[in-house]
């Protein structure tokens, strides 16, 4: 399709967009009486209107039933999390028994490393991507120390080549081969938070297994954003947060995937708690841990129902729409934003470049724009003019045209504001 950089064309794309009405299901911050243009759904998704209802339900059950709510609430709390198994497994391409919700993202990655990072004297190295999200870096360092190894030795980063913004698949694969027998774990972000690069999870997972390592994924920027087939791709484990593309609210609960092949492995160490215990016998308060056969067997504490309520609202919405429709719009609106940026770029030559891969298979709902010249003031200008973007040092703004609630008209209007901001 040939795009046009004008309001009428953008409105026409909105009129043809089968998901356009979902915009009305979200609450937008207001700027001068109008919805802001929201590009930070990759950082904190907007609040769905239906969320309030899910939260009120729990508040009311708590008020009316107190402790009885555990068993007699409309959605009883003791197995509230089981309502996620079906919709969430579809979002990440898993069997229902392979997904669970609990804790927060970094905590879950630590718990997964307890089970799947089992270093030995000769096989103890971890492969990750250069400039991984800081929380992941701290996690790797502390895990490696915990096992008595040195981060400089045990953590192997896959670097970008000089002058390139993204990591090449061939470099990931050759590093895995090079480390070979010393490799204990590959753990990479499925979508890089900074550049928006999407990694080939299937191929990298295969290569890691061939080297004899476990392979896990941090899907913070992938869940609810990209096509995933965690089960078929034979991923060992994966974790994600729910507050980015999944719109479940600040700091909210994480999701976790553990492949079926590990469910009955009694030799896997794990940090246990009563919520992971055999569900029929949980309240018998027995002294010996007997884990649930499934990802739920990694749960520790009884769950924060007031957090799960917004997460469930979101997961229900994703189930209603399906990832396929979202991904179709995602690719089109991201391409339209890219087109708009390229049009503006012609008028303000050399003022910025897109560092996200051009190949639609290597990107999803994000374009990262590297600003040449005075970046921070342009970012501030955008904020003052009702465009919420995200600033990353040294000079990058990240733009996430989230298909659930961003419109083509937003993309056009953004281009006009950006141009004014650059030309001054
Ligand atoms: C957002 C993000 C996190 C955040 O971790 P929390 O434990 O939820 O604070 C971690 N890793 C990646 C890659 C992220 O993008």
Mean of the pLDDT values across residues 30-37?
97
- The pairing of strands 254-258 and 214-218 is unpaired
Q: State yes or no: pLDDT of 413 exceeds 90.
A: yes
Mean of the pLDDT values across residues 139-145?
98
Both tokens of 193, joined, read 């938070």
Ligand 1 pocket member 136 (CB < 6 A): yes
With 0-12 / 13-18 / 19 or more C-beta atoms within 10 angstroms meaning exposed / middle / buried, residue 82 is middle
For ligand 1, atom 11, the nearest C-alpha belongs to: 133
Question: Residue 424 has what pLDDT?
Answer: 79
Decide: 269 and 115 in contact? Cβ < 8 Å.
yes
Residues 6+ apart with CB under 8 A from 351: 345, 371, 372, 373, 422
206-225 pLDDT, tens digit per residue, is 999 999 999 999 999 999 99
CA of 139 to the centre of ligand 1 (A): 11
Question: Residue 1 has what pLDDT?
Answer: 82
Label residue 184 by pLDDT band (50, 70, 90): very high
73-93 pLDDT, tens digit per residue, is 999 999 999 999 999 999 999
CA of 307 to the centre of ligand 1 (A): 17
Label residue 248 by pLDDT band (50, 70, 90): very high
Both tokens of 356, joined, read 């996200």
Both tokens of 104, joined, read 């927060």
Other beta carbons within 10 Å of 283: 11
**Ligand 1: which of 44, 102, 106 to mutate, most ligand atoms within 8 Å of CB?**
106
**Ligand 1: which of 103, 110, 135, 251 to mutate, most ligand atoms within 8 Å of CB?**
135
Ligand 1 pocket member 390 (CB < 6 A): no
Ligand 1 pocket member 238 (CB < 6 A): no
Helix residue ranges per DSSP H, 187-304 = 201-210
CA of 111 to the centre of ligand 1 (A): 15
Ligand 1 pocket member 218 (CB < 6 A): yes
Question: Given CA atoms 62, 65, 66, 68 in this order, what sign does their dihedral have?
Answer: negative
Ligand 1 pocket member 135 (CB < 6 A): yes
Q: State yes or no: pLDDT of 350 exceeds 90.
A: no
Query: Which has the higher per-residue pLDDT, 423 or 159?
Result: 159
Among 24-38, 118-132, 139-153, 372-386, the range scoring the smallest mean pLDDT is 372-386
Ligand 1 pocket member 189 (CB < 6 A): yes
CA of 241 to the centre of ligand 1 (A): 7
Q: State yes or no: pLDDT of 65 exceeds 80.
A: yes
Question: Residue 351 has what pLDDT?
Answer: 87
Mean of the pLDDT values across residues 21-39?
98
Q: How far apart are CA 76 and CA 59, in angstroms?
A: 13
Label residue 266 by pLDDT band (50, 70, 90): confident
Label residue 280 by pLDDT band (50, 70, 90): confident
Decide: 325 and 19 in contact? Cβ < 8 Å.
yes
CA of 408 to the centre of ligand 1 (A): 29
Q: How far apart are CA 253 and CA 99, in angstroms?
A: 13
Looking up tokens 């010249």, which residue turns up? 373
Phi, psi of 91 (to 5 degrees): -65, -35
Question: Residue 373 has what pLDDT?
Answer: 79
Label residue 117 by pLDDT band (50, 70, 90): very high
Ligand 1 pocket member 239 (CB < 6 A): no
106 CA: nearest ligand 1 atom: 7
218 CA: nearest ligand 1 atom: 13
Ligand 1 pocket member 240 (CB < 6 A): no
132 CA: nearest ligand 1 atom: 13
Question: Residue 284 has what pLDDT?
Answer: 86
Residues 6+ apart with CB under 8 A from 183: 123, 125, 127, 176, 208, 211, 212, 213
What percentage of residues in the chain have a pLDDT greater than 90? Answer: 93
Residues 6+ apart with CB under 8 A from 147: 117, 119, 124
Q: Name the β-bridge partners of 217.
A: 188, 238
pLDDT mean across residues, the chain? 96
Ligand 1 pocket member 101 (CB < 6 A): no
Q: How far apart are CA 375 and CA 378, in angstroms?
A: 5
Ligand 1 pocket member 220 (CB < 6 A): yes
Q: What are the distances in angstroms from CA 88 to CA 41, 84, 240, 275, 331?
A: 19, 5, 11, 19, 22
133 CA: nearest ligand 1 atom: 13
Ligand 1 pocket member 104 (CB < 6 A): yes
Both tokens of 227, joined, read 């096509």
Q: State yes or no: pLDDT of 374 exceeds 80.
A: no
Question: Residue 349 has what pLDDT?
Answer: 82
Other beta carbons within 10 Å of 365: 28
């Amino acid at each position: 399709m040939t795009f046009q950089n004008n309001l009428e064309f953008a409105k026409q794309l909105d009129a043809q967009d089968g998901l356009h009405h979902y915009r009305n299901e979200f609450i937008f911050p207001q700027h001068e009486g109008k919805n802001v243009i929201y590009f930070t759904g990759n950082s904190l998704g907007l609040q769905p209107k239906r969320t309030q209802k899910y939260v009120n339900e729990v508040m009311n059950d708590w008020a009316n039933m107190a402790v009885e709510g555990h068993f007699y609430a409309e959605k009883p709390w003791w197995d509230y999390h089981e309502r996620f198994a079906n919709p969430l497994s579809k979002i990440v391409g898993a069997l229902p028994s392979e997904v669970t919700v609990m804790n927060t993202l970094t905590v879950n990655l630590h718990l997964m490393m307890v089970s799947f990072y089992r270093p030995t004297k000769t096989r103890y190295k971890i492969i990750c991507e250069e400039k991984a999200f800081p929380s992941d870096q701290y996690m790797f360092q502390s895990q490696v120390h915990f096992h008595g190894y040195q981060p400089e030795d045990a953590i192997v980063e896959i670097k970008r080549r000089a002058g390139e913004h993204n990591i090449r698949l061939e470099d990931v694969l050759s590093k895995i081969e090079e480390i070979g027998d010393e490799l204990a774990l590959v753990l990479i972000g499925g979508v890089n938070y900074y550049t928006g690069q999407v990694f080939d999870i299937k191929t990298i997972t295969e290569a890691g297994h061939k080297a004899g390592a476990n392979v896990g994924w941090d899907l913070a920027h992938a869940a609810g954003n990209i096509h995933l087939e965690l089960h078929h791709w034979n991923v060992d484990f994966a974790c994600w947060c729910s507050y980015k593309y999944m719109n479940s609210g600040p700091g909210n609960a994480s999701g976790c995937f553990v492949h079926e092949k590990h469910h009955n492995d009694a030799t896997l160490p794990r940090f246990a708690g009563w919520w992971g215990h055999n569900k029929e016998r949980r309240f018998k308060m027995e002294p010996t841990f007997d884990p649930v056969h499934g990802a739920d067997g990694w749960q520790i504490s009884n769950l924060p129902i007031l957090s799960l309520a917004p997460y469930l609202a979101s997961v229900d919405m994703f189930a209603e729409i399906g990832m396929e429709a979202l991904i179709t719009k995602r690719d089109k609106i991201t391409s339209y934003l890219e087109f708009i940026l390229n049009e503006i770029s012609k008028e303000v030559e050399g003022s910025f470049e897109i560092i996200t891969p051009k190949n639609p298979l290597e990107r999803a709902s994000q374009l990262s724009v590297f600003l040449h010249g005075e970046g921070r003031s342009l970012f501030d200008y955008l904020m003052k003019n009702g465009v919420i973007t995200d600033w990353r040092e040294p000079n990058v703004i990240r733009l996430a045209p989230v298909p659930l609630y961003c419109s083509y008209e937003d993309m056009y209007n953004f281009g006009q504001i950006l141009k004014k901001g650059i030309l001054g």
